[in-house]
A and B are shown apart, each in its own frame.
Chain A
Amino acid sequence: MDVRVDRDRCLGAGMCALTAPRVFDQDEEEGLVVLLDARPPEERRAAVRVAAGVCPASVITLTEHGSSPAA
């Protein structure tokens, strides 16, 4: 899984940092999303999918690689 975020459209609600705190954070100054781990391990992916789903500005994009060895 590859994770991308669009900070330009982020509005800092904090849903991602609340839902998947090992993968997303908010920066101290602006409160906008900070991506901590663009290729999260298997055990965190479910939370990342939830975070992408609840993001109020839909700025989290996931690319799933299925079972390919590159994933």
Chain B
Amino acid sequence: MQNVPSTRPENAETVKTGETTEPGAPVTLPTQRAAGCPFDPPAGLAELREERPLARMTYPDGHVGWLATGHSTVRAIMGDSRFSSRYELLHYPFPGGPEGPLPSAPVGDMTGMDAPEHTRFRRILTGKFTVRRMRQLSDRVAEITEERLDAMERGGPGVDLVEAFARPLPALMICELLGVPYADRERFQGHAHTIMSMDVTPEDRYAAFVGLQEYMAELVAAKRAAPSDDLLGDLARDSDLTDEELVGIGGFLLAAGLDTTANMIAHGTFALLTEPAQADALRADPDLAPQAVEELMRYLTIAHTSVKSALVDVELDGLLVRAGESVTLSLEAANRDPERFPDPDVLDLHRKATGHLGFGHGIHQCLGQQLARVELTVALPALLRRFPTLRLDVPAEEVPLRTDMSIYGVHRLPVTWDEA
């Protein structure tokens, strides 16, 4: 289908053909993590990054596009407006997706938009998520953190940290920020989980999306009638968003707030518990927290994969990406690139991890990243300090991993501690 000679052997050397070189034979996206390495990217990505940081890739639907694994290549594509994020132009890189391109983004799903549509939504929201505004929430984050830690301590040793701590803290914060009643969580948490799953049928995903929309539509109607002093209330009163857009944005922000930081708290704790010296360093010096958070974002890269589509022919790294071809971006491979981060496979909380792609790059870089930073900076040291003997309650290899989710992490994290 593409200009890849069928006689070309696997891993062929690239061949100069004038201005651009000929890529090697297409690969498939590595998705299997090596046994006993829950924190490392799927096996095979490191070799690819070293040999071909931009490689031909065969997608599960038969499309032949690209896979980018090098830090500079991934970063360049994320910052390049010649690459689109519109879902209807993208081929799904994981097995189980639709035949051919994806359906277009639902209204309000900013991830699947390009400028200028994206710009309009982003401009309405950026002022609500500034460094200063998010830092003003620090005290409230600390308060909720202490409440959850008190509850854990009262309940005694032996909890699933995901249920007891990692999930409620960001959920409570995003609910307060948006003006979504936390008591309604039964009505939206399951739907949000299904939307973020990679192995559900398109029908189930659509049903979950509709369910979340129905909940949001009721909420938006209430905010329009009586705008409350919160983000959705502000948007209902001040913005030019239609009801449909407000419902879409509300669902998007809620889902994004529920399933991201929660996984960083749980998976970050898992990583720290398997590296006790690192945990002790953070326990001893809470001032280390901001840079520890950056390093954990780099090392874990729970938002592991992104996809773009070339709008025009683009020459990149001496290779020609043709208009219409999808490029899968392995953020987790990029964040382990030794050309950008020395000893990349080592978790080192003292390292300067600035420049990692854990929040993405370009116009879609995480809107809520400053909230995530505040939550993680407060929550992780507080947890470690409250429970100096915190440890896994099962062997590490029995911790169930979220290999089936678009945001990686753990489904459960059984932990225990010695009672004081």
List residues of chain A with CB under 8 Å of any chain B CB: 11-15, 17-19, 21, 25-32, 50, 53-54, 56-58
A14 in contact with B127 given A54-B355, A57-B362 (CB within 8 Å): no
**Which residues of the partner chain A approach B366 to less than 8 Å between Cβ atoms?**
13
Residue pair B354, A31 in contact (C-beta under 8 Å): no
Residue pair B79, A58 in contact (C-beta under 8 Å): yes
Residue pair A14, B370 in contact (C-beta under 8 Å): yes
Q: Which partner residue on chain B sits nearest A32 by CB separation?
A: B126
B132 → chain A closest CB, angstroms: 7
Residue pair B130, A26 in contact (C-beta under 8 Å): yes
Residue pair A17, B122 in contact (C-beta under 8 Å): no
Residue pair A31, B365 in contact (C-beta under 8 Å): no
**Which residues of the partner chain B approach A58 to less than 8 Å between Cβ atoms?**
79
User: Is residue B105 within 8 Å, beta carbon to beta carbon, of the partner chain?
Assistant: no
User: Is residue B123 within 8 Å, beta carbon to beta carbon, of the partner chain?
Assistant: yes
Residue pair A11, B126 in contact (C-beta under 8 Å): yes
User: Is residue B361 within 8 Å, beta carbon to beta carbon, of the partner chain?
Assistant: yes
A31 in contact with B355 given A14-B369, A56-B362 (CB within 8 Å): no
Residue pair A26, B363 in contact (C-beta under 8 Å): no
Checking B78, B122, B359, B362 against A12 with a beta-carbon cut-off of 8 angstroms, the contacting residue is B122
Q: Which partner residue on chain B sits nearest A26 by CB separation?
A: B130
A46 → chain B closest CB, angstroms: 11
Q: Which partner residue on chain A sits nearest B132 by CB separation?
A: A26
In chain B, positions 198-245 with a C-beta closer than 8 Å to chain A are: none
The tally of CB-CB contacts under 8 A between chains A and B is 68
**Which residues of the partner chain A approach B122 to less than 8 Å between Cβ atoms?**
11-12
Q: Which partner residue on chain A sits nearest B369 by CB separation?
A: A13
Instruction: Provide 22 A-B residue pairs closer than 8 Å at the C-beta atoms, listed in order of the A residue.
Output: A11-B126, A12-B127, A13-B126, A13-B366, A13-B367, A14-B129, A14-B130, A14-B131, A14-B369, A18-B373, A21-B131, A26-B126, A26-B131, A28-B130, A29-B127, A31-B127, A31-B128, A50-B355, A56-B78, A56-B365, A57-B362, A57-B363
List residues of chain B with CB under 8 Å of any chain A CB: 78-79, 119, 122-123, 126-132, 354-355, 359-363, 365-367, 369-370, 373
Q: Which partner residue on chain A sits nearest B126 by CB separation?
A: A12
Residue pair B79, A18 in contact (C-beta under 8 Å): no
**Which residues of the partner chain A approach B128 to less than 8 Å between Cβ atoms?**
31
Checking A18, A19, A56 against B363 with a beta-carbon cut-off of 8 angstroms, the contacting residue is A56
**Which residues of the partner chain B approach A15 to less than 8 Å between Cβ atoms?**
365
A53 → chain B closest CB, angstroms: 7
**Which residues of the partner chain B approach A30 to less than 8 Å between Cβ atoms?**
123, 126-127
A54 in contact with B354 given A13-B365, A14-B369, A30-B123 (CB within 8 Å): yes
B76 → chain A closest CB, angstroms: 11
What is the CA–CA distance of A53 and B123 in the complex, to the nearest angstrom?
22
What is the CA–CA distance of A29 and B238 in the complex, to the nearest angstrom?
12
A12 in contact with B130 given A18-B370, A19-B354 (CB within 8 Å): yes
Residue pair A31, B126 in contact (C-beta under 8 Å): yes
**Which residues of the partner chain A approach B373 to less than 8 Å between Cβ atoms?**
18
Residue pair A28, B127 in contact (C-beta under 8 Å): yes
**Which residues of the partner chain A approach B367 to less than 8 Å between Cβ atoms?**
13
Residue pair B360, A31 in contact (C-beta under 8 Å): no
Q: Which partner residue on chain B sits nearest A56 by CB separation?
A: B365
What is the CA–CA distance of A27 and B126 in the complex, to the nearest angstrom?
10
What is the CA–CA distance of A5 and B26 in the complex, to the nearest angstrom?
41
Residue pair B130, A56 in contact (C-beta under 8 Å): no
What is the CA–CA distance of A4 and B45 in the complex, to the nearest angstrom?
38
Q: Which partner residue on chain B sits nearest A27 by CB separation?
A: B127
**Which residues of the partner chain A approach B359 to less than 8 Å between Cβ atoms?**
13
B331 → chain A closest CB, angstroms: 13
**Which residues of the partner chain B approach A21 to less than 8 Å between Cβ atoms?**
131
Q: Which partner residue on chain B sits nearest A10 by CB separation?
A: B126
B77 → chain A closest CB, angstroms: 13
Q: Which partner residue on chain B sits nearest A24 by CB separation?
A: B131
The 9 residue pairs across chains A and B that have the minimum distance between CB atoms? A12-B126, A31-B126, A56-B365, A31-B127, A14-B131, A26-B130, A31-B130, A17-B131, A30-B127
What is the CA–CA distance of A21 and B263 in the complex, to the nearest angstrom?
29
